[in-house]
Amino acid sequence: MTKFIPSQDIEAVFARQIHYHPRERINAKKKDIIRRRLQEGYSVQDLIHAIDGCHQTPFNCGKNDSGAKFLDLKTSISQDNICRFMELAESSAQAAKLKERRRNTRENMLHVNKGQPKVTEQELAEFRQWRKEIGI
């Protein structure tokens, strides 16, 4: 027996593809590709991450010998690529959060109010712990 997949799950995944390709339209074949991945146990968020990951790889974005782009839905969530693209998107998201945290911390540390840092002792202790964790 196949697992029932709500149409809004399929639409949510395809909405991410439209984010990158506004002119793309959904059809039965694309719905079926999404439905199969969801029935295999991947979540909507997994498929969205895979689409994001595909759009982050230089090769798929056209930096290859032929200059061809490989950004279609079938490529993004194919069984051969889905895990790799998911991991790429998730690691990029973590790197972006880390970069944002570093930027915010630097801004707080550089902002001086009457010779005193803007951060509290608690925040400074957390910052030092975080630096220890990442090995700086």
Q: Is residue 122 part of a domain?
A: yes
Strands (E) in 9-128, as ranges, are 112-113, 116-117
Q: Domain span at residue 81?
A: 7-134
* Average pLDDT, 10 consecutive residues per value, the chain (136 residues): 86 94 94 94 94 93 94 93 91 77 65 58 81 77
Split into its structural domains, the chain has a count of 1
The reported pLDDT for the residue numbered 124 is: 79
Strand partners, 113: 116
Q: Which residues contact 94 (CB under 8 A, 6 or more apart)?
A: none
Q: Which long-range contacts (CB under 8 A, 24 or more apart) does 62-66 make?
A: none
Which tokens hold the place of 102?
A: 């570093």
Q: Is residue 2 part of a domain?
A: no
Q: Is residue 16 part of a domain?
A: yes
Q: Is residue 106 part of a domain?
A: yes
The reported pLDDT for the residue numbered 123 is: 80
The reported pLDDT for the residue numbered 116 is: 58
